[in-house]
Amino acid sequence: MVYLDNAATTFPKPKSVYDAMDKMNRQGAVNAGRGSYKLAQAASRLISETKIKLRQLVNVDVSAAVVFSSSITIAINQIVNGLCLRQKAVVYVSPYEHNAVARSLYELSKRKELIVKELPLDNGLEIDIQKMKYEFAKDKPEAVFCTHVSNVTGYILPVEEIFREAKKHGSINVLDSAQSLGLIDVRADLMDVDLIAFAGHKTLYGPFGIGGFINVSAVPLDTFIAGGTGSDSLNLEMPLGNETRYESSSPNIVAIAGLNAALESLNQKEHFEREKKMTSYLIEQLSSVKEVKMFLPSNTERHIGIVSVIVEGFNSEDVGTILDEDFEIAVRTGYHCAPYIHKYLRDVTSLGTVRIGIGQFTTKEEIDLLIKALKEIVYE
């Protein structure tokens, strides 16, 4: 099988990730933070070590809380519902947001009547910074939620500029790094970001079952999910710790072991350079099929890893089915859990896009097989 759905989850993972998880499952999968015996203490140390690696990756010190959850979606829900946004607060989102952000804000809006506004796009499907400045001046942001890399088009958003301008108005800035952390630089110290949500199973090349957020600026957050933490158990209030109060339930120590191994083997610079070259090759080869329309930012330097296309004369679901059943090529089709961007892509009649997601293990030969298959679909 040719796997080109890496925007959904990267696959395969490095061998060290599978090995670490297997070893933990067999030799150390006990409940961290709930016992004084050696195995429980070792599990707790592994959690602390993994959090240190994440802080180092985004260049923050030990004062930044790292909160683990079962997924980035849960983490974003914790942030959205923990921020204590005012009634009718103005909140900005990029048009590229995933439903992890969009639906969370929508649900909160039912109670708080939030005014959710999209950042403006120019004709090249990039953020229009000048129009954005005008919007911020007119309707000051209380919070800005922005994905770093679009899971639909691979566009690298100018989050540094967006957050810098938003911060001038006192905004709380939240970064969705699901498609970027481990692939491109996420320098918290350089981008006026307050909270970074992350997914273990995407560009970090860890497993499912582990995500979370990094509270860079010690933003006060209400507890959204309550439960057992292994400490202060007679108190019905959640503990006051800046991490433990948000980490109810038993930690997924097997997934954390996998994430730790992924972080240990991570070579971000090499990964970025390889994926950038492979993305350019993919675009070049897709350009040879005139019936294929790509949705790319006008500045392809601000693009990596993901290419969405429509194929003239076909709906996207059919293209995906043919690629799978006739050619054993896995791509994703549809709207990709991104509710805002498709009105700009105007892809409803094609039932969304065919999304090609490459990763660090994608080869030119696999891309060539995709192009050959598309040509057979179109011309034969």
Domains contained in the chain, CATH given: 2-10+268-379 (3.90.1150.10), 15-265 (3.40.640.10)
Identify the H or E element spanning 213. Answer: strand 211-215
Q: Which pLDDT value is given to residue 222?
A: 93
- What is the rounded distance in angstroms from the CA atom of residue 109 to the CA atom of residue 1? 43
As given in the structure block, the two tokens for residue 102 are: 């969009």
In 3D space, the residue among 271, 378, 361 whose CA is nearest the CA of residue 12 turns out to be 361
**Maximum CA pair distance of the chain?**
70
pTM (two decimals) = 0.96
What SS3 class is residue 232? coil
Provide the pLDDT for residue 242: 83
Q: What is d(CA 215, CA 218) in angstroms, rounded to the nearest whole number?
A: 5
For residues 339 and 99, give the distance between their C-alpha atoms in angstroms, rounded to a whole number.
7
What value, to the nearest 5°, has the Cα angle with vertex 187 and ends 260 and 199? Answer: 40
- Please measure the distance between the N-terminal and C-terminal CA atoms of the chain and give it in whole angstroms: 22
Which is nearest to 155 in space by CA: 184, 189, 188, 118?
184
Give the three-state DSSP class for 158: coil
Give 23's contacts (C-beta < 8 A, 6+ positions apart): 257
Local structure of 204: helix, strand or coil:
coil
pLDDT at 239: 83
Query: Angle CA(242)–CA(244)–CA(249) in degrees, nearest 5?
Result: 150
- What pLDDT was estimated at residue 163? 98
Residue 314: per-residue pLDDT: 97
Question: CB neighbours of 213 closer than 8 A, spacing ≥ 6?
Answer: 66, 67, 69, 75, 76, 78, 79, 195, 196, 197, 198
Q: Mind listing the pLDDT tens digit of every residue in the chain (380 residues)?
A: 999 999 999 999 999 999 999 999 999 999 997 778 999 999 999 999 999 999 999 999 999 999 999 999 999 999 999 999 999 999 999 999 999 999 999 999 999 999 999 999 999 999 999 999 999 999 999 999 999 999 999 999 999 999 999 999 999 999 999 999 999 999 999 999 999 999 999 999 999 999 999 999 999 999 998 888 877 788 888 888 789 899 888 999 999 999 999 999 999 999 999 999 999 999 999 999 999 999 999 999 999 999 999 999 999 999 999 999 999 999 999 999 999 999 999 999 999 999 999 999 999 999 999 999 999 999 87
